[in-house]
């Protein structure tokens, strides 16, 4: 996994101690964790498909919000803040039945109170499956 050098220990400790969550259930695995890019993979399987055997749009959106939220959090971590979703949209462009998809998120706006991140999800042969944008609120961590 690739991380910003000054974040590596913090991110590694956080991920290894994180409670089980939706990301675990969907099989999301982070590949790149930096302030400027987050990528993660997700399998297309019985946990992420809809009844017709296609990648569920909700699973794509869950992957998108996960990578955007983590990216925003990496930018406010040292300020004792977290990032939570305010709004997300998605355009589903292609059906996927098998394999693994990869999501990539990059920041569009990093303000003091909100961030906006763009995400794209691709098949193994780099065909775009979904594209979207996520707006996140930056909140103080509870102490």
Instruction: Supply φ then ψ for residue 40, to 5 degrees.
Output: -155, 155
Rounded to 5°, angle at Cα 134 from 5 and 18: 50
Which residue's structure tokens are 């003091």?
Answer: 112
Res 98: pLDDT? 98
Q: One of 5, 37, 65, 87 is an active-site residue; which one?
A: 65
What predicted TM-score, i.e. pTM, was given to this entire model? 0.94
Number of alpha helices (DSSP H) and beta strands (DSSP E) in the chain:
3, 7
- Confidence class of residue 18 from pLDDT cuts 50, 70 and 90? confident
Q: What is the mean pLDDT of the chain?
A: 94
Segments in the chain forming alpha helices (H): 8-17, 22-26, 57-76
User: For the chain, how many residues are written?
Assistant: 143
65 counts as catalytic: yes
Domains (range + CATH), the chain? 2-140 (3.10.129.10)
- Confidence class of residue 12 from pLDDT cuts 50, 70 and 90? confident
């Amino acid at each position: 996994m690739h991380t910003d050098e000054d974040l590596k220990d913090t991110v590694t400790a956080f991920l290894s101690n994180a409670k089980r969550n939706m990301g675990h259930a969907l099989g999301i695995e982070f590949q790149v964790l930096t302030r400027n890019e987050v990528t993660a993979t997700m399998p297309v399987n019985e946990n992420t498909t809809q009844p017709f055997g296609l990648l569920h749009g909700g699973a794509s959106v869950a992957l998108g919000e996960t990578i955007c939220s983590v990216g925003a959090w990496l930018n406010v971590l040292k300020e004792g803040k977290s990032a939570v979703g305010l709004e997300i949209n998605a355009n589903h462009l292609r059906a996927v039945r098998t394999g693994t998809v990869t999501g990539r998120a990059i920041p569009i706006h990093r303000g003091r109170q909100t961030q906006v991140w763009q995400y794209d999800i691709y098949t193994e042969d780099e065909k775009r499956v979904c594209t979207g944008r996520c707006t996140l609120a930056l909140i103080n961590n509870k102490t």
